Amino acid sequence: MNTSKERTRDEILVLENGRILDVENERFIERGVIIVRDKLISDIGSRGEVEIPKNVETIDLKGNVVLPGLIDAHMHLTGMRTGDLVKEPLLTPYEVFVARAIKDLEALLDAGFTTIGDAGSVIALNLKQAVEEGTIIGPRIIASGYPLSQTFGHGDEHYLPVEWVDARTTKKLTPMMSLLCDGVDECRKAARYALRQGADFIKVMATGGVLSQRDRPEYIQFSKEELRAIVEEAEHANRFVHAHAQGSKGIIHAIEAGVKVIAHAIYIDDEGCELAKQRNVVVVPTLSVVEHILRYGEKIGIPPWGIEKSKEVYEEHISNIRRAYRRGVKLATGTDFMGGREAFRHGDNALEIKLLIEKIGMRPIDALKSATLYAAEAVGLSSLTGSLRKDKYADLIVIKGNPLDDPDLLLKRENILMIMKEGRIYKNIIEKH
Ligand SMILES: [Zn+2]
């Protein structure tokens, strides 16, 4: 990856002659100019509307399309390379997972992702500092760290001795450790522990799931009182709760308790859609992970119970998310990828945009809103990123061709001509085109 030197504070860079996609107003700004000052966009508009400072560095975008940097609002930076959730974590040294996760961060940025929302991996939480201090290169990380799960919950790995599962008691560090908590007091304490570790938001497992051995998506997990206590602790610390919620009742439970982001939403029904809209909840359907389990599951060692349940939920998931889209629920992109050699590989995360268009029938502009505007909302950063606006971060990508005409464009790295995060250029091959 080409990296440019960081400009000193207040140094100005002008990007001119771009076709800037204004996702909020669903239009292109032709012959667009973006003035970047330090980390922020200090002005933006079409040529003539924007005052261009003299004697400053200027880059000609040559009429190429400019998008806000992409966001994956639900993924896991684990360093996993197979789908074998049983053996791989036990047989691999923790440091190997961390080293692979560093490579995955590079791949994510190189694929045009300038922000990621990690919904459960302490590796992401800790590498956030390494990215911010510039030791390694990657997207901005917003992370939950350890997820909260009840005993016999989605985050309680049922095939392991219980004391190996909780991050506070295990002697074998693995990428996906949880905090097991039962009852209001333990839930409060676990939420506070997650915050103590640095969580940007709290992740809870509010229902059973596909990749948990002994439960099912429709099982409700945590009582309303427990969820309410976790939400309260998050809100006291000016944060929000993001729930894994798949069954229709568990989804409603979570939203009623004050959860702001619902992941997966396999069996979301009319009532769940209405509630999500009323409470301004963002739903992250994570279609990519199910798609990959069905395509690669056996080959990469997904346990047979995981493959079976994926087959069972696939069709209904798609039709329920279609209904949510028709009813106007805010949907955000999230792949639920963990990292991998082929399946779940970080860097292929634009697959979710393609699936939203092809499987859900989204208008391409809506799928791009999901990957920018609404995904920014889902990670709690809507005032700072997710659209190209004055005073937001200069997080942007320049694309060869129009992704509204062809969603496959974003899946090929060679079509991403420029990548900028917080005003810093990580790739620029515009001259070669
Ligand atoms: Zn997940």
Distance (angstroms) between ligand 1 centre and the Cα of 306 equals 14
CATH of 70-378, one of 3.20.20.140, 3.90.1200.10, 3.10.690.10, 3.10.20.30: 3.20.20.140
What pLDDT does 28 receive? 98
Q: What is the mean pLDDT of the chain?
A: 95
Query: Strands 416-421 and 396-399, how do they pair?
Result: antiparallel
Tokens of 304: 């047979």
Distance (angstroms) between ligand 1 centre and the Cα of 74 equals 6
Distance (angstroms) between ligand 1 centre and the Cα of 356 equals 18
pLDDT band for position 11 (cuts 50, 70, 90): confident
Distance (angstroms) between ligand 1 centre and the Cα of 266 equals 13
**pLDDT tens column, 26-82:** 999 999 999 999 999 999 999 999 999 989 999 999 999 999 999 999 999 999 999
**pLDDT tens column, 119-161:** 999 999 999 999 999 999 999 999 999 999 999 999 998 888 8
Kindly state the average pLDDT of the residues 346-351. Answer: 98
| Residue for token pair 């999230």 | 334
Residue 192 has pLDDT above 60, yes or no: yes
pLDDT band for position 407 (cuts 50, 70, 90): confident
Residue 4 has pLDDT above 80, yes or no: no
Distance (angstroms) between ligand 1 centre and the Cα of 18 equals 36
Distance (angstroms) between ligand 1 centre and the Cα of 49 equals 43
What pLDDT does 6 receive? 57
Q: Look at the domain 12-69+386-432 and name its fold.
A: Urease, subunit C; domain 1 (2.30.40)
Residue 1 has pLDDT above 60, yes or no: no
Closest-CA residue to 137 (of 95, 104, 169, 160) = 104
φ and ψ at residue 113, rounded to 5 degrees: -90, 115
Distance (angstroms) between ligand 1 centre and the Cα of 169 equals 22
Q: Are 262 and 254 in contact (CB under 8 A)?
A: yes
3-state DSSP of the chain: CCCCCCCCCCCEEEEEEEEEEECCCCEEEEEEEEEEECCEEEEEEEECCECCCCCCEEEECCCCEEEECEEEEEECCCCCCCCCCCHHHHHCCHHHHHHHHHHHHHHHHHCCEEEEEECCCHHHHHHHHHHHCCCCCCCEEEECCCCEECCCCCCCCCCCCHHHCECCCCCCCCCCCEEECCCHHHHHHHHHHHHHCCCCCEEEECECCCCCCCCCCCCECCCHHHHHHHHHHHHHCCCCEEEEECCHHHHHHHHHCCCCEEEECCCCCHHHHHHHHHCCCEEECCHHHHHHHHHHHHHHCCCHHHHHHHHHHHHHHHHHHHHHHHCCCEECCCCCCCCCCECECCCCCCHHHHHHHHCCCCCHHHHHHHHCHHHHHHCCCCCCCCCCCCCCECCEEEECCCCCCCHHHHHCHHHEEEEEECCEEEEECHHHC
pLDDT band for position 176 (cuts 50, 70, 90): confident
**pLDDT tens column, 202-217:** 999 999 988 888 888 8
Distance (angstroms) between ligand 1 centre and the Cα of 76 equals 6
CB atoms within 10 A of CB 33: 23
More confident: 379 or 6: 379
Residue 195 has pLDDT above 80, yes or no: yes
What pLDDT does 212 receive? 81
Distance (angstroms) between ligand 1 centre and the Cα of 377 equals 17
- Percentage of the chain lying above the pLDDT 70 cut: 98
Distances (CA, A) of 299 to 91, 102, 302, 311: 19, 25, 8, 16
What pLDDT does 159 receive? 86
CATH code 3.20.20.140 region(s) in the chain = 70-378
Distance (angstroms) between ligand 1 centre and the Cα of 298 equals 20
**pLDDT tens column, 105-116:** 999 999 999 999
What pLDDT does 8 receive? 58
CATH code 2.30.40.10 region(s) in the chain = 12-69+386-432
Kindly state the average pLDDT of the residues 322-347. Answer: 97
What pLDDT does 2 receive? 46
